[in-house]
């Protein structure tokens, strides 16, 4: 889409003319001494509200574990992160004994100090 080109010189000339009309109107009103034709006072702008500070959440430390789960996502056992082989072994034992699918998944839990 083509946009209309803005002629800044014309806009500046219009602004200057409007400003000049406003100044001359004030001078003529003062010269006449008319109190009835005072230019209306502009209402005061309300002060901008400061945005409320958002509290930054504390970073919680997490610890990783390996969990052995069944098909219903029920956690049956939990092992340290370094004991992945033990978790796989446990899952294989459960598969062999119950013939249902069991798997391991990474679990991250918050460290309580």
What is the count of structural domains for the chain?
A: 1
Is residue 69 one of the residues assigned to a domain?
yes
- Answer yes or no: is 81 within a domain: yes
pLDDT band, residue 106 (cuts 50/70/90): very high
24 in any annotated domain: no
Q: Is 22 helix (H, G, I), strand (E, B) or coil?
A: helix
49: in domain = no
Chain centroid to CA 50? 17
pLDDT digits (tens, 9 = 90+) for 45-60: 788 888 888 888 888 8
Q: Examine residue 56 and state whether it is found in any structural domain, yes or no.
A: no
User: In this structure, is residue 48 part of a structural domain?
Assistant: no
Q: Would residue 30 count as lying in a domain?
A: no
| DSSP E strand boundaries for the chain | 62-69, 75-80, 103-110
Domain housing 66: 62-110
Mind listing the pLDDT tens digit for each residue in 14-49?
A: 999 988 888 767 666 666 665 555 566 777 778 888
Expressed in angstroms, the distance from the first to the final Cα of the chain is 62
């Amino acid at each position: 889409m083509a946009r209309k080109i803005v002629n800044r010189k014309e806009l500046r000339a219009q602004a200057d003319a409007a400003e000049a009309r406003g100044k001359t109107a004030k001078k003529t009103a003062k010269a006449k001494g008319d109190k009835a034709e005072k230019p209306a006072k502009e209402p005061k702008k309300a002060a901008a509200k400061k945005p409320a500070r958002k509290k930054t959440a504390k970073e919680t430390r997490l610890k990783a574990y390996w969990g052995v789960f069944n098909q219903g996502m029920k956690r049956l056992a939990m092992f340290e992160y370094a004991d992945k082989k033990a978790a796989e072994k446990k899952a294989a034992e459960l598969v062999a004994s119950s013939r249902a699918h069991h798997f391991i998944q990474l679990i991250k839990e918050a460290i309580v100090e």
